Homo-oligomer: A and B are copies of this chain.
Amino acid sequence: MNRMPPSPAVSADVGRHNMSLVLRSLADHEPCARSEIRARTGLVSGTVTTMTEELAARGLVQETGSVSGGGRGRPRRLLRTVPQRVRTVAVQLSSGSVMGEVRDLAGQVLWAKTDEHGTAAGDIDELVARAGRMLDAAIETAEDDPRVHVPAPVVVVPGLLRSDATVVASLELGLGQTDLRTPLTRRLRRPRDLALMNTGRLGALSEYAAHPPDARPHAMAYVNGLEGVGGTVLLDGDFYGGAHGLAGECGHITVDMNGPRCGCGARGCLDLYLGLTAILTRVGLPTEDPARSLGELVDRLERAEPTACEALDTAGRALAGAMATMASYTDLDLVVLGGVLPRLFPWLEPHLDELVTARSRVTPEFNPKVALARYGKEAPRRGAWLHSRGLVLDDPSRVPYV
């Protein structure tokens, strides 16, 4: 997010880069032979040999003895990654629970635990204590085998995070400007770096990675419709952070300059029309238990209850407006609708279709593909795994020799 002052490069950087290239190439087309890696990466055979040896020495890659006939010459010796070599740790904070999870490099869940709690919103000490215990438990589980490498654990936070990892605000946890990382790190049995990341951003990462490696969007936005509306922009799979790391938030896109004042200070924000809280309020449903009210909302919509339909009509027009903004201003490939939006999509779709139709004649470039999120509640934790996996794939040299 924040570019460091440009630093000198050394030969070792070249090695790291190419090693990452080889591992990524393998991970994307597993299993495959060295010769295929050579073809895909453009590296010469000598280098591929060196790199695969190096990766094998770090326990990340194995030769599955299997040879394979098919063509004419010497059979190819297939390589595979070793999922067991790495375990990723994620702890997800939410209003009602703390969830811990350990996965292997392939994403298989090896351990999972949920701590349901009735902690009052805003009780930081209690939250940190519970999160700390869960982290300790997850880390201990992950590290019970000394032969596995464990990248920095990810703490999934439902709230705005600055690039320096301080929380700006979390409605769900009842937090204002807070430094969660310091007390959390201090409380760990064995101190280590923690990666604090936003729920929505990790959800976006899941959706991004759901596309096959050769068909991934260059510029993708993820619209996370929950009580409030959040969002994320991914450029070639990297978070676009902006000046403070808060970019991508689409909940406060203005859709009506004449609209009412929003809590953020601006007027007519998307949040005021598409946020679940806003919709429920319009329809006259209680907002304390959004999950239950959502069910009731959908019922009423299916019965074509006028107030509900009107609220979703407004929501749809607001979403179309925001989509028009995002598509033209950030030139997107793909917009993914997440959170409760897939559930409400049938009533939102007509407005999006209208926009697409109107634009297709004049500015088809500004019509990104629209997709619904494939992963539900699991998305953020999957994203945490993908993030940790990314750390390993980006710099395999950080994984020690076995």
Contacts and interface: CB of A to CB of B under 8 A. Distances in A.
Interface of A: 2-3, 6-11, 13-14, 17-18, 21, 24, 41-43, 47, 162, 168, 217-219, 231, 233, 235-236, 240-258, 261, 263-269, 317-318, 320-322, 324-326, 328-333, 355, 358-363, 365-366, 368
Contact of A358 (B241, B242, B249, B265): B265
- The number of times this chain is found in the oligomer is 2
Contact of A253 (B328, B331, B360): B328
A248 B328 CA distance: 8
A2, A264, A320, A361: residue with the most chain B Cβ atoms closer than 10 Å: A264
Contact of A332 (B242, B245, B263, B269): B242
B252 A254 contact: no
Contacts of A47: 8
Given A9-B13, A246-B365, A256 B253 contact: no
A11 B8 contact: no
A266 B321 contact: yes
From A9, A243, A329, name the one whose CB has the most chain B CB atoms within 10 angstroms.
A329
Nearest to A10: B14
B256 A258 contact: yes
A121 to B, nearest CB: 19
B265 A43 contact: no
A74 B343 CA distance: 74
A254 B14 contact: no
A360 B264 CA distance: 9
B14 A18 contact: no
Nearest to A245: B331
A257 B358 contact: no
A14 B16 CA distance: 12
For the complex of A and B, 8 pairs with smallest distance between CB atoms: A242-B331, A265-B359, A257-B321, A265-B358, A247-B331, A266-B324, A254-B321, A252-B328
A251 B329 CA distance: 8
**Which one of A24, A251, A326 has the highest number of Cβ atoms from chain B below 10 Å of its Cβ?**
A326
A217 B320 CA distance: 31
Contacts of A361: 265
A7 B47 CA distance: 13
A325 B242 contact: no
Contacts of A265: 355, 358-363, 366
Given A257-B321, A331-B244, A266 B359 contact: yes
A8 B332 CA distance: 28
A341 to B, nearest CB: 17
A328 B359 contact: no
